[in-house]
Amino acid sequence: MCQLNLGAPGACDHQSFGQQFEPAIDAILGQDVLALLGPLAMGKPRGQLRGLDVDVRPSHYLRGMDGMPAILGLAAVIIPVLLLTVVGAISWAKTASLRHPRGLTVNVHEPPVDAPTSPFTFVPGGAGLFMVASALLGASSEIIRGRGPPAGWDFVGVMGVLVAVLGLGARVASLHIDEHGLRVEFGHLRPFSLRWEECWLLAPPRWPMGAWRVAGRVGPREIACRLMPTDLLGHEFVLGVVAARAGLEFDGRAWTAPARTGPT
């Protein structure tokens, strides 16, 4: 049995205790814990701890948290932009025949279309959620250090919430086309419905990441819907069906119905 008699031969004092378990402590917890414990962990008696300036700075694991929120914040912006750019380029190439048409080859009497949109429609909402996560990590890291959450992370968090709400709420979920007209279902918004005889405009975007605009008149008011490349990915043919069934003609800039009333 180990006795706490520092003067007795073979006694288990603090020094031998520290020397015995020093390799295990070093292997499990790393050098940062040994630096925090100071002389005690290195096999020196407890009495020598008095008057010493023990280094209690955060370990390199905790210091590494400073860069992680910033990396997440940048990734929440860069990755979605890259994805949307690629999708826009693909959709731009597939819709070239509608932006510079030489005549439609769409069968007006095609069966009804019920097309769910691509998973890329979740990209804007997902970017907002990543921004919120990076803001929470950044603010938590600052609070742990006693600095308080800076206004920068608060701004990132608020912007992330707005982007997530708008991105998920206004996401186009599906496209429906039948003999009566076009219907666009959204994530949490009212659906957009337009009969063929009410549709007077199908305007192409001016750049690859732009949206197609479908507009019409329902009574005295004009209604419109914008379809992004992520909404049309894999279903670009829907645009040709809209132009054909609504009887639109290309005027050099957009598909229009000159006989119908609409703003110029």
Torsion angle in degrees (nearest 10) through CA of 176, 177, 180, 182: 70
What is the Cα–Cα distance from 104 to 258, expressed in whole angstroms?
Answer: 17
**What is the mean predicted confidence (pLDDT) over 158-183?**
93
Contact between residue 167 and residue 103 where contact means Cβ atoms under 8 Å apart: no
Query: Which of 47-61, 124-138, 213-227, 247-261 has the weakest average pLDDT?
Result: 47-61
pLDDT given for residue 153 in this prediction? 82
Of 148 and 100, the structure prediction assigns the larger pLDDT to 100
Q: Which residues pair with 223 in a beta bridge?
A: 216
Ranges 15-24, 101-110, 143-152, most confident = 143-152
Decide if pLDDT at 254 tops 50.
yes
pLDDT given for residue 106 in this prediction? 60
**Which residue, 210, 209, 204, 205, is CA-closest to 240?**
204
Query: Which of 25-34, 69-78, 185-194, 201-210 has the weakest average pLDDT?
Result: 25-34
**SS3 label, residue 41:** coil
**What is the mean predicted confidence (pLDDT) over 200-218?**
94
Joined together, the tokens standing for residue 264 give 């110029």
**What is the mean predicted confidence (pLDDT) over 26-32?**
47
Classify residue 184 by its DSSP letter: E
Decide if pLDDT at 15 tops 60.
no
The CB density around residue 12, as the number of other CB atoms within 10 Å, is: 15
What is the Cα–Cα distance from 152 to 135, expressed in whole angstroms?
Answer: 9
Q: How confident is the model at residue 152 (pLDDT cuts 50, 70, 90)?
A: confident
**Which residue, 131, 136, 144, is CA-closest to 63?**
144
Classify residue 196 by its DSSP letter: G
The amino acid at residue 18 is G
Ranges 73-87, 130-144, 192-206, most confident = 192-206
Question: Could you report the per-residue pLDDT of 46-67, keeping only the tens digit for each?
Answer: 444 444 444 444 444 444 445 7
Q: How far does the chain reach from its first CA to its final CA, in angstroms?
A: 98
DSSP secondary structure, 58-109, as one string: PPHHHHGGGHHHHHHHHHHHHHHHHHHHHHHHHHHHHTHHHHS-S-----TT
pLDDT given for residue 201 in this prediction? 95
What is the Cα–Cα distance from 167 to 171, expressed in whole angstroms?
Answer: 6
pLDDT given for residue 194 in this prediction? 95
Contact between residue 228 and residue 172 where contact means Cβ atoms under 8 Å apart: yes
The amino acid at residue 69 is P
pLDDT given for residue 111 in this prediction? 75
What is the Cα–Cα distance from 243 to 247, expressed in whole angstroms?
Answer: 6
Question: Could you report the per-residue pLDDT of 187-198, keeping only the tens digit for each?
Answer: 888 999 999 999
pTM value is 0.67
pLDDT given for residue 107 in this prediction? 58
